[in-house]
Structure 1
Amino acid sequence: MPIDFPSPTIPAANQAEVFTRYLDYFRESLIEKTAALPAATQRTSGLPSGWTPLELVKHLRHVERRWIEWGFQGRDVADPWADRKDDRWHVEESETLADLATALRDQGTHTTAVITGNALETAGRPGPRWDGADPATLERVCFHLLQEYARHLGHLDIVAELAGAPTGE
Structure 2
Amino acid sequence: MIPFPEPTAPAGSRTEVFLGYLDYFRESVVAKVSVLDEAELRRSRLPSGWTPLELLTHLRHVELRWIEWGFQGRDVAEPWGDRREDRWYVAPEVTRAELVAALRAQGAHTTAVVTAHDLAEIGAPGPRWDGADPASLERVLFHLVQEYARHLGHLDVVAELAGGSTGE
State the TM bucket, normalised to the shorter chain.
over 0.9
2:61 counterpart residue number:
62
Moved more, 51-60 or 9-18: 9-18
2:89 counterpart residue number:
90
Is 1:45 the counterpart of 2:80? The answer is no
- The equivalences for 1:19-34 within 5 A come to 19-34=18-33
Aligned mates of 1:131, 1:137 — CA distance in 2: 15
TM-score, with structure 1 as normaliser: 0.98
Please state how far the C-alpha of 1:19 moved relative to its aligned partner: 0.5
For residues 75-109 of structure 1, the C-alpha deviation after alignment (integer angstroms, 9 at most, x for no partner) is: 00011000011111000111111100000000000
Please state how far the C-alpha of 1:21 moved relative to its aligned partner: 0.7
Look up the equivalent residue of 2:85 and give its one-letter code. Answer: D
2:12 counterpart residue number:
13
2:121 counterpart residue number:
122
1:159 counterpart residue number:
158
Aligned mates of 1:102, 1:68 — CA distance in 2: 18
1:135 counterpart residue number:
134
Please state whether the residue corresponding to 2:153 is helix, strand or coil.
Answer: helix
Please state whether the residue corresponding to 2:39 is helix, strand or coil.
Answer: helix
Specify every segment of 5 or more residues in structure 2 that has no aligned partner in the other structure, as ranges.
none
Please state how far the C-alpha of 1:9 moved relative to its aligned partner: 1.7
Provide the aligned C-alpha RMSD in A.
Answer: 0.6
For residues 7-66 of structure 1, the C-alpha deviation after alignment (integer angstroms, 9 at most, x for no partner) is: 112111100010111101111100110111122011110111000000000000000000
Look up the equivalent residue of 2:59 and give its one-letter code. Answer: L
1:101 counterpart residue number:
100
Instruction: Give aligned pairs, total.
Output: 168
Aligned mates of 2:4, 2:132 — CA distance in 1: 35
Please state how far the C-alpha of 1:116 moved relative to its aligned partner: 1.0
Aligned mates of 1:34, 1:156 — CA distance in 2: 8
Aligned mates of 1:84, 1:68 — CA distance in 2: 18
Which 4+ residue blocks in structure 1 deviate beyond 3 angstroms?
Answer: none
Seq. identity, %: 68
1:76 counterpart residue number:
75
Specify every segment of 5 or more residues in structure 1 that has no aligned partner in the other structure, as ranges.
none
Aligned mates of 2:73, 2:166 — CA distance in 1: 36
